[in-house]
Amino acid sequence: MFNRFALVLVFVPLAIVLIALAVANRAPVPFTIDPFNPGNPALTYTLPFFVFLFAAFALGLIIGSLATWFRQGRYRKLARQRAIEAESLKQAAGRPAPAAGNDPVLPRPTN
């Protein structure tokens, strides 16, 4: 219930702001990829300004997500190594390996 409330609390105002941004910035603007020849029609795209804003937002989201994923790679590797070590120790002690959902190395996810 709390997750749904938090989802509504965050995404409804965000949607209102994004819709207002799109409505306020709907005039077409040229975007030129060639900085040395800005009049080149082959490398100039004319779209509404909010499209460029949303594209920049999406690109930033993707770059930030990839940076976070790469930055946390060592922690994922460490967790995998600890899981393998725990499993090998349990098998060496003669105990059966735990089921996939009952891994004592990592905490269980909470809802």
Q: Which residue has the higher pLDDT, 103 or 90?
A: 90
Q: Are residues 42 and 73 in the same domain?
A: no
In this prediction, residue 94 carries a pLDDT of: 72
- Residue at 108 is within a domain: no
Section 86-90 average pLDDT:
87
Which structural domain, as residue segments, surrounds residue 73?
61-101
Query: CB under 8 Å to 52, separation ≥6 — which residues?
Result: 29, 31
- Residue at 110 is within a domain: no
Q: Are residues 86 and 45 in the same domain?
A: no
Domains in the chain: how many in total? Answer: 2
In this prediction, residue 35 carries a pLDDT of: 84
Q: Are residues 8 and 42 in the same domain?
A: yes
pTM score: 0.62
- Residue at 109 is within a domain: no
pLDDT classification of 6: cutoffs 50, 70, 90: confident
Mean pLDDT lowest for which of 23-32, 35-44, 48-57? 35-44
